[in-house]
Structure 1
Amino acid sequence: MSATTTPLQTIGVLGAGRVGTAVARQALTTGYEVKIATAKPAAEIELIVEIVTPGAQAVDAAEAATADLVILAVPLHKYRTLDPGLLAGKAVIDVMNYWAPTDGEIDDFEHDPRTSSEIIQEFLVGARLVKSLNHIGYHELEEDCQPAGAADRRALALAGEHDDSKALVAGFIDRLGYDPVDAGPLAAGRAYQPGTEIFNGSHTAPVLHALLAAAPAPAFH
């Protein structure tokens, strides 16, 4: 997928862990306005946001959800603490992963044949979920970026059910310094979950296209 010009200006980040703050910092360096929220009141996270993501604004979740694009970066086991109503109709990037060997087994994901993002999408009814930014290390996100057209520019996959939201996310990925590659529907995100070749490596767009093409077709549930 090629990046498209969009009016995207503000990024809301739900979660202030390593991944969420890395996305926030990279977004800030490329000129976005960034709002960060956690389960705590904004006043309680102002200092940490100022230190870890200087230039971002600490807000409550409701305000972060008003951004043009929302980054979902809460601990996966806490996904049910999210308010689906806040994200209805919003373009949302799911950067979370289910990785039992590291995080322990979670019944919702361990005993469901769907991908973690499909389960999150069902819970966040009305959200326009796109799975991406989950297969690059938080430190790499700020180190591997390159200008558009660089021969060895790293590519990142995205998957979702809504073309308009995927176009918005593609533009965001491109501006962060990576080539966006459309993997297909949300179920196609299985091809870059933890343990896959895509997840474990850094790939250019042609290589990523080939790996996605070689992945098993998404199952339909």
Structure 2
Amino acid sequence: MMTIKRVGIIGAGKVGIVLAGLALNAGYEVRISGSGSVEKIALTIKTLVPGAIASENKDVVANSDIIILAIPLSRYKNIDADLLKDKLVIDATNYWWETDGVREEVLDADSTSSEQVQAYFKHATIVKTFNHMGYHNLQEEAASKNSSKRKALFVTGNNHEAVDKVAQFVESMGFDQVVHYNLADGIMTEPGSPLFGASLTYQDLKQTIDHFDQTEFGKKIAASKLN
């Protein structure tokens, strides 16, 4: 898998803007697209993340080594499934009722959100990360490797090589990584879990995940759908 030099971000909201800034600071070439026209977001990009290139989805994907999905989960099917063919894709999305609406209209009940994103973009390789820490924390708490205040992100996916590549990318963005090799484990960091919104050091994040009862959490999620 190629060395990552060019980062493409689909989504020019708060998370997308923050990740664009971190990627620029880390020395990457950054392209970013939004839901509106290029002209519509260009001024925002120029003001908030000068140096990033505002573009449309097709150009972002064609000129990037890695793609970050930083859009409301309910909108991923607005993107042509073939657009991300053969791409390494970070899924930074979460289901959030305020923006996504009724859960059952967005997600099937029998698998996790990232598994469904992977099923839709079946020719892409999906790795889940950047989804469980708030955008303020991502922006303010990125730190050098030797910093005692450095925080960690959970990174998981089914493709070992891709997960390792994304973990290296997360490292370069200023965060330690707790790595799993099962995309379904991403449910442990989604809204409703103790890890969602948490900003933890590597040891604290690893300890929390190691003691996390995924089966019990799954039961709570299933029960919540019946209420």
Verify same fold: TM over 0.5.
yes
| 3-state SS, counterpart of residue 210 of structure 1 | helix
Answering whether residue 56 of structure 2 is matched by residue 63 of structure 1, we say no
Answering whether residue 79 of structure 2 is matched by residue 82 of structure 1, we say yes
Q: Which residue of 2 aligns with 1:206?
A: 203
Q: Which residue of 2 aligns with 1:175?
A: 172
Greater shift, 209-218 or 142-151, is seen at: 209-218
The alpha-carbon distance between structure 1 residues 75 and 177, as it changes in their structure 2 partners (threshold 3 A), is same
Answering whether residue 164 of structure 2 is matched by residue 160 of structure 1, we say no
Q: Which residue of 2 aligns with 1:10?
A: 6
CA–CA separation in structure 1 for the residues paired with 2:128 and 2:7: 16
**Which whole-Å deviations, capped at 9, do the CAs of 1:101-122 have from their partners, x for residues lacking one?**
6743132445413111111111
CA–CA separation in structure 1 for the residues paired with 2:108 and 2:27: 41
CA–CA separation in structure 2 for the residues paired with 1:102 and 1:68: 29
CA–CA separation in structure 2 for the residues paired with 1:121 and 1:110: 13
Q: TM-score, normalised by structure 1?
A: 0.89
CA–CA separation in structure 2 for the residues paired with 1:138 and 1:202: 11
Identity %: 34
**Structure 1 position 41, deviation (Å):** 3.6
Equivalences for residues 106-145 of structure 1 within 5 A? 106-145=103-142
CA–CA separation in structure 2 for the residues paired with 1:170 and 1:147: 15
C-alpha contact 2:89 2:127 (8 A) present in aligned 1: yes
Alignment length (residue pairs): 215
**Structure 1 position 80, deviation (Å):** 0.9
**Structure 1 position 13, deviation (Å):** 0.5
CA–CA separation in structure 2 for the residues paired with 1:145 and 1:45: 25
CA–CA separation in structure 2 for the residues paired with 1:205 and 1:111: 32
**Which whole-Å deviations, capped at 9, do the CAs of 1:72-103 have from their partners, x for residues lacking one?**
01222211111121111111111110133674
Greater shift, 64-73 or 36-45, is seen at: 36-45
CA–CA separation in structure 2 for the residues paired with 1:113 and 1:182: 24
Question: 5+ residue gaps in structure 1?
Answer: none
Q: Which residue of 1 aligns with 2:221?
A: none
CA–CA separation in structure 1 for the residues paired with 2:166 and 2:56: 23
CA–CA separation in structure 2 for the residues paired with 1:212 and 1:63: 38
CA–CA separation in structure 2 for the residues paired with 1:158 and 1:177: 14
Question: 5+ residue gaps in structure 2?
Answer: 219-227
| 3-state SS, counterpart of residue 130 of structure 1 | strand
**Structure 1 position 29, deviation (Å):** 1.2
**Which whole-Å deviations, capped at 9, do the CAs of 1:4-33 have from their partners, x for residues lacking one?**
x97211100001001111100111111111
Q: Which residue of 2 aligns with 1:50?
A: 46
Q: Which residue of 2 aligns with 1:187?
A: 184
Q: Which residue of 2 aligns with 1:30?
A: 26
Greater shift, 206-215 or 25-34, is seen at: 206-215
C-alpha contact 2:160 2:181 (8 A) present in aligned 1: no
| 3-state SS, counterpart of residue 188 of structure 2 | helix
